[in-house]
Amino acid sequence: MKISKTTLHQIIKEEALTLLEVGTEPMTRYAKRKGPEERRRDKDRAAVRDMLGPDDPLVTKTSQKEPEPQEPVDPDKTIKVDHGEETHGRVPARGHGSEDFLTTTNFNKGVLLSALQRYADENDLKVEEEPIGSGMYSVVYLAYGPEGDEVLKITAHKKEIDAYEAVKVRRDAATSEMPNAAKALPRVYDTQRLSTEPVRLRPPPSARFPGHVPQGEWTYQPDAEGKPYDLWVVRMEKLQTLEEAGYGEEIRSDIFGYSGARVASPQAMIRYVENLFSFKNFYTSLESAMDEDFFEKILSATSAVPLGRGKDIMTQMEKGIAELKQDLVSKIKDGTLVPPDAQVKKGEDPQWALVADPSKNPVMLTQLLAQGLNVMTDHFASLVKDYTDNEALADDLEIYARQPLHNKMTAAVKIPQYDPRTEYGAAVYQSNMGVTTPPERKDLESQVAQTFLTRLRELNKLGQATDDPSLEMSYGDLHGNNVMVRENGELVAADVGLFLVDRDQSTGALVPTGLRERKIFERMSQLAGLI
């Protein structure tokens, strides 16, 4: 099998992103016309499928019709529900891309609130009738208790509760052994199983009765001839969003970087540009992206300054990066660039408002960043060639260091979704960023973000600190809606449903709760090993 590294990277990324649980909303699949590159990769997929087997979840099944799902024996596995007839009292766990995917939000709102109200009455709580948020697995309500405001998360998925119970035990242990690290975890007061009133799964009133459960359309409605279903509640501390805490988009950029997928203020974009194009980020990422011998050649070359040339290559590079950064910032300030999907309008302060000069062609930040990274690398290669008269070294830099350097620099200015120091995190990181780990010695520019990351990483040592290997853990599924703030300003990983708290029996690696994540990890590890 002859497949280039670049092509294999792209196949892995495309396949893994359809499977990983990376957000709070299910993905909607759609078919679009494939370009020549995609068609060529489809040919390579056949080779990957032949090597890993036809049942590999990371190989797209495009050439054959999906078999009809068989009714399983295990009630917690994926099942197909026909005609609204459930076989047990738990909502079956389904894959995100499945047409039959159901989640907690498929319960009628009144059914959820009724079950939650019974719990609240038993625990002297008052619950707001309208939820304050919802995600893929849970719906969140505000509650008022004797000690103040709290949050109640209700879910139909047992693995969500398993994760919260596991994290509660670990936070209790960390509070005494490593109190600073414990601050990064939410305070979980209680978890409990609830039961709904009798309900039946029903299609939309106006819909023709289908032979399967369309995603998001069927709901569990009250029905005396139905049966109760299991739900679970998590009682935990109330936290604020970054914006409610007054941190704003700048801190959000420090934590998560900028993907171009969301609207950001000019201040946030400038903060991200300054973080990305810092000389420290360039230097540490260059060292990390290149093998040791190659990097030593560069360092040796920088010390061999030709007579009369003055400053060495790195000094010149630091100056060049500063000028490049200033140019990018100026483009943001003068309106040459606007954020995606932003409402372009005049503001009171044209320097900071979302303004676009009609005489200029606005470009997206993602395009500008890509151009900036290429300009930076071109400049560095030119300096190496000019200062050393070593054209081969400059060519090697172009061939072997360009994309790894860009990936490293981008990865180093945000907190990873999963810790790449774990096997599972490294596999996810490889699929998302094209690199296994960010530069180890690169600190985040924001002290708030760096403190948070330090605390999260310290939790990896909990098993060692307590002399109890069963308490080992690692954070997971860190994203923009997951990081929240206490009243004292501490950052908290609020949603712990996909934290790594289990051990895969075959590999020994830390994985999230549930069998599906483990199988994906095994396949991603196989593919990552090919690269």
Q: Half-sphere exposure of 312 toward its Cβ, with a 13 Å CA cutoff?
A: 9
Mean pLDDT, the chain, rounded, equals 76
- Report the alpha-carbon distance of residue 70 to residue 56 in Å, rounded: 18
321: pLDDT strictly greater than 60: yes
Task: For 138-282, list the strands marked E by DSSP.
Answer: 138-145, 148-155, 188-195, 199-202, 219-222, 230-237
SS3 236: strand
The residue with greater pLDDT, 473 or 21, is 473
Tell me the angle at which helices 515-530 and 5-17 cross, rounded to the nearest 10 degrees: 170
- Report the alpha-carbon distance of residue 283 to residue 300 in Å, rounded: 15
What type of residue is 68? E
Q: Give the percent of the chain with pLDDT over 90.
A: 34
* 222-261 tens-digit pLDDT: 999 999 999 999 999 999 998 899 887 778 888 888 766 5
In what helix (H) or strand (E) does residue 191 lie, and over which residues does it extend? strand 188-195
94: pLDDT strictly greater than 60: no
Residue with token string 């103040």:
148
pLDDT at 2: 53
pLDDT at 374: 93
pLDDT at 37: 53
Cβ atoms of 501 and 163 closer than 8 Å: yes
Our measurement of the distance from residue 177's CA atom to the centroid of its chain's CA atoms, rounded to an integer in Å, reads 29
* 252-290 tens-digit pLDDT: 888 888 766 566 777 888 889 999 999 999 998 988 888
Task: For 359-489, list the strands marked E by DSSP.
Answer: 483-485
Confidence of residue 349 (pLDDT cuts 50, 70, 90): very low
* 430-470 tens-digit pLDDT: 888 788 778 776 778 788 889 999 999 999 999 999 999 99
Q: Give the percent of the chain with pLDDT over 70.
A: 67
User: For residue 392, what are its two tokens?
Assistant: 């081969």
Please report, for the chain, the start and end positions of each structural domain, with discontinuous segments joined by +.
5-52, 104-237
Cβ atoms of 424 and 509 closer than 8 Å: yes
C-alpha torsion 445→451→453→458, nearest 10:
140
Instruction: Select from 161, 216, 41 the least CA-distant residue to 496.
Output: 161
